[in-house]
Structure 1
Amino acid sequence: MLQAQSGDCATKAALAYDDAKAQRYDQAYQPLMEVKNECPTYSLATFQYLDRVLKHKLENAQGAEKNKLIEENIQLMNERLKHFPNKTNAAEVQGDIAWLKYENGIGTKEKQFKAFDEAYKGSPESFTSPKRIYAYFSLLVDLQDEGKRDLQDVFELYDEIIGKIESEENKLAEMLAPLVEKQEAGTKLSAQEAKLAENAEINLSAYSQVKGSVNAKLGQRADCDNLIPLYNKDFEEKKGDVQWLRIASERLSQKDCTEDPIFFKVSEALHKAEPSAKSAMYLGQLAEAEGKSSQAMKYYNESAELETDPGDKARVYMRIANNYRQGGNFSQARSFYRKALQTNPSNGRAYLHIANMYAQSANNCGDNPFDKRAVYWLAADYAARVV
């Protein structure tokens, strides 16, 4: 055995390594296999060179020969992990094996998905290949189409995958930004920097494409016909889960599923769990669209109280005032127009609305022509403040 005869092991390995370095892959194949089998712990280089050889041989292999080489490649990766665990990323090995099986149609879709799932969960930070990210998601969608996974599983993985893609895009953009600034300043990039910039742009393009492919794969599964029954089914169980409510509300809104009662239920539950000026405003708009004016006004007032941005607060007051004005309640309308002006004194529309309301109610104010005319003077005063 070569393991016992270290000189023979070293000699055969050296010759095989020389052939592999010189890309004489067919000549290096058998000696490398012998070194791997008979003295596997001799050097990590054995596995690294043999990986190159097998990938080369796989390029032109067909039929039974190809299947044999695939099995040898999988075995090689597992043995490297076994003999050199401190120099091998287990999750990356799982990802490589998963891709090899997927690319060559080995095993069922369930087994292929499980392999990608284990690789991703084992090391999300090393799961960065756009092709593998798409394969991972695509397999789950296929399994859901076959009735072997729930639609909720698809949505959860979709959110995870899109988050992963955007995270990788942000990393690349941050790395690329100073290089672009350097170029724009007229400074020539070094060869290494130019290569980094080129690779970053290629990868950004690849992530953009895979994001489009993932969205296309999700397709009509994310339409109202699927979303509404799904969220109706899970609402009672999930109505206390803020993250679930956020995602459900956003997805229903993006797909214009806002007319179904489930959207109001989800939005209302989210507002109770995590109240904000924006959520209160949105609930007010929903209630107003349904003709529930008193409920709408309750939410609008809550939105105004929660709002911290002066401009947005003024806009809420304007909406409340407009509703009162349109309903003929000029007194309340003026009160809220004034609140809008207190928040944003340059709001010309508020002055004009107050002026118009005074003008409309002139005949109802005062007991004599002088008093009635005084109301017009007051209206003119408000109108003049616009300029």
Structure 2
Amino acid sequence: MKTRLLIVTMVLLFSGLFKAEAQTLESKYGLDSAKTILNASLYIEMVKQGNYKEALTGWRYVYKNAPAYQKSTYINGVKIMEGLYRATKNDKYIDTLMMVYDNRIKYFGKDRKYSTGWILGRKGGDLFQYREKDIPSVKEAYAMMKKSIEMQGLNAEAKVIANTMEASKVLVQNNQIEAEEVIDNYLLFMDMAKKQMDAETDPAKKDNINNARLNVEQIFFAAGVADCETLSNIFTSKFHANNNDLVLINKILRMLNRQECEDGALYAEVAERKYELDPNADAAHNLAKMFIKKKEFDKSKEYLVKSIELETDADIKADLHFKLATILLMQGKYSDAKSNALKAAKYRANWGQPYLLIGKAYAAYSKNYGSSPLEKQAVYWVAVDKFAKAKALDPDCSEEARELITTYSKYFPRKEEAFFEGIKEGDTYKVGDWINESTKARLTE
């Protein structure tokens, strides 16, 4: 009796398993698996040949009767609909294209790499591309792409980001969104690009990210919301109504800094308010930039020194020391300029600009050094040494360094003058004072 009961139980169990498997096969292949496979193989061959019209019948059968059969149903569906639209300009194919994306989300939206967020980005991008003249469609596409970027985060495609920026430009120019929304998009996308660049190690991929960043900037500037007057009009009343809001204050300062609007009335108000609320390195730096723009260099130096004291990021510290060195050079404080330039170079390896600045400081001081013409001209030897060091360290400086080397080499001492001082070509020569550098004599005819 027990044996018979066990056999019956096993039969029922396996029949249940077989039924479940049959239902799974049915849901994937549809009611007629042979017909599904045949239609799929026929339409795929037509797609490969670019014959989208002939591919349509077989594809439609698979799409309607076996929607969970293959992800390629939807990949090829996009190709077919786009191909037919290009050939006919019939809007019905764009409507179908949107349904293709919707069904891909329904049946394959949980794909690990090409998830719902990714698919939404492609759907929105295609809707924007094919209906960019239709403002309601642009608004719909824009919402899709914004959702895609929110879902994908740093994995959002560069093309989707660029399309979203372009759509926001179209919408703001048609009074469908506020200028501030375009600014928020721009700041978000630039932050994303920076994070992507920092995380990426492949040089080719870094170039792609940088190209996308440049594309976003170009679109943003073309949107017409980036000039100083427009930014002031957008943010002045907002700031006056919320002058304790550090999030708003930081956003305003970022935009004004990017557009070099440091000499405007709004910048002064916002920068000073930030320093009152949060007197950190960034706040001091903002005030320094404002005073630089106003050519109030003593005040700018004061805030640069404060910013340097408070700053912990080595790369930013390098920039601050270099700005301070530049002001000191302009004021003829050559020794202090050199000191800050060397600190800038210490905080950022292989940076040539500080050495160009030191060379310029040496050259500018030459008229004050020594008593004889040769002593004054000898200072150009150490100046050129610094230009050469900048050129060797930093390819970005090479062109300017070459020009400076050519310019100041013309002022080297002449052989005749050096002869009377007992100096020969190649001799070691010490330039004293605050310069305190040894060099090799180089003489002209």
TM interval, shorter chain, is 0.5 to 0.7
Number of residue pairs matched by the alignment: 312
Q: How does 1:119-268 map to 2 (within 5 A)?
A: 119-130=148-159, 132-169=160-197, 174-176=201-203, 200=205, 203=208, 206-207=211-212, 210-218=215-223, 220-268=224-272
* C-alpha deviation, 1:31, in angstroms: 2.8
- Report the CA distance shift for 1:203/1:19 in structure 2 as closer, same or farther (over 3 A): farther
- Report the CA distance shift for 1:211/1:269 in structure 2 as closer, same or farther (over 3 A): same
* C-alpha deviation, 1:281, in angstroms: 6.3
- Report the CA distance shift for 1:150/1:19 in structure 2 as closer, same or farther (over 3 A): same
Letter of the 1:148 counterpart: Q
* C-alpha deviation, 1:305, in angstroms: 6.0
Aligned to 2:46, the other structure's residue is in SS state coil
Letter of the 2:141 counterpart: Q
The answer to whether the Cα contact below 8 Å between 2:268 and 2:290 also exists between their aligned partners in 1 is: yes
The answer to whether residue 97 in structure 2 is matched with residue 73 in structure 1 is: yes
The answer to whether residue 99 in structure 2 is matched with residue 95 in structure 1 is: no
Find the counterpart in structure 2 of residue 16 from structure 1: 39
* C-alpha deviation, 1:67, in angstroms: 1.7
Find the counterpart in structure 1 of residue 287 from structure 2: 283
* C-alpha deviation, 1:128, in angstroms: 0.9
Aligned to 1:233, the other structure's residue is in SS state helix
- Report the CA distance shift for 1:33/1:273 in structure 2 as closer, same or farther (over 3 A): same
- Report the CA distance shift for 1:77/1:217 in structure 2 as closer, same or farther (over 3 A): same
The answer to whether the Cα contact below 8 Å between 2:301 and 2:324 also exists between their aligned partners in 1 is: no
- Report the CA distance shift for 1:118/1:238 in structure 2 as closer, same or farther (over 3 A): same
* C-alpha deviation, 1:232, in angstroms: 1.6
Find the counterpart in structure 2 of residue 179 from structure 1: none
Q: TM-score under structure 2 normalisation?
A: 0.54
Q: 1:35 aligns with which of 59, 62, 70?
A: 62
Name stretches of at least 5 consecutive residues in structure 1 with no aligned partner. 177-196, 324-336, 353-382
Q: What CA distance in whole angstroms lies between the structure 2 residues aligned with 1:215 and 1:52?
A: 31
Q: Encode CA deviations 1:119-177: one digit per residue, 9 max, x unaligned.
A: 222323443143x3233112222322333322211111111122334444556x6223x
Q: What CA distance in whole angstroms lies between the structure 2 residues aligned with 1:111 and 1:311?
A: 43
Q: Which has more helix, going by share of residues?
A: 1
Q: How does 1:355-374 map to 2 (within 5 A)?
A: none
Q: What CA distance in whole angstroms lies between the structure 2 residues aligned with 1:206 and 1:12?
A: 47
The answer to whether the Cα contact below 8 Å between 1:134 and 1:213 also exists between their aligned partners in 2 is: no
Q: Which moved more, 1:7-16 or 1:308-317?
A: 308-317
Q: What CA distance in whole angstroms lies between the structure 1 residues aligned with 2:170 and 2:137?
A: 12
- Structure with the larger RCO, 1 or 2 (CA within 8 Å, 6+ apart): 1
Aligned to 1:174, the other structure's residue is in SS state coil
Q: Which moved more, 1:268-277 or 1:201-210?
A: 201-210
Aligned to 1:225, the other structure's residue is in SS state helix
Q: What CA distance in whole angstroms lies between the structure 1 residues aligned with 2:322 and 2:165?
A: 45
Q: What CA distance in whole angstroms lies between the structure 2 residues aligned with 1:143 and 1:109?
A: 8
Q: What CA distance in whole angstroms lies between the structure 1 residues aligned with 2:108 and 2:125?
A: 22
The answer to whether the Cα contact below 8 Å between 1:169 and 1:207 also exists between their aligned partners in 2 is: no
* C-alpha deviation, 1:233, in angstroms: 1.1
- Report the CA distance shift for 1:118/1:61 in structure 2 as closer, same or farther (over 3 A): same
Aligned to 2:244, the other structure's residue is in SS state coil
Aligned to 1:22, the other structure's residue is in SS state helix
* C-alpha deviation, 1:205, in angstroms: 7.5
Q: What CA distance in whole angstroms lies between the structure 1 residues aligned with 2:101 and 2:231?
A: 42
The answer to whether residue 118 in structure 2 is matched with residue 114 in structure 1 is: no
* C-alpha deviation, 1:84, in angstroms: 3.7
The answer to whether the Cα contact below 8 Å between 1:128 and 1:168 also exists between their aligned partners in 2 is: no
Q: Encode CA deviations 1:188-230: one digit per residue, 9 max, x unaligned.
A: xxxxxxxxx5xx4884575265235324324x42112112232
- Report the CA distance shift for 1:58/1:236 in structure 2 as closer, same or farther (over 3 A): same
Q: Encode CA deviations 1:276-332: one digit per residue, 9 max, x unaligned.
A: 457436636756988999988985785686578799789979x99x99xxxxxxxxx
Q: 1:104 aligns with which of 117, 130, 150?
A: 130
Q: Which moved more, 1:202-211 or 1:107-116?
A: 202-211
Letter of the 2:173 counterpart: D
Aligned to 1:235, the other structure's residue is in SS state helix
Q: What CA distance in whole angstroms lies between the structure 1 residues aligned with 2:60 and 2:76?
A: 10
Letter of the 1:159 counterpart: L
Q: Which moved more, 1:252-261 or 1:223-232?
A: 252-261
Find the counterpart in structure 1 of residue 110 from structure 2: 86
Name stretches of at least 5 consecutive residues in structure 2 with no aligned partner. 1-24, 344-357, 366-431, 437-445
- Report the CA distance shift for 1:45/1:235 in structure 2 as closer, same or farther (over 3 A): closer
Q: What CA distance in whole angstroms lies between the structure 2 residues aligned with 1:311 and 1:136?
A: 33
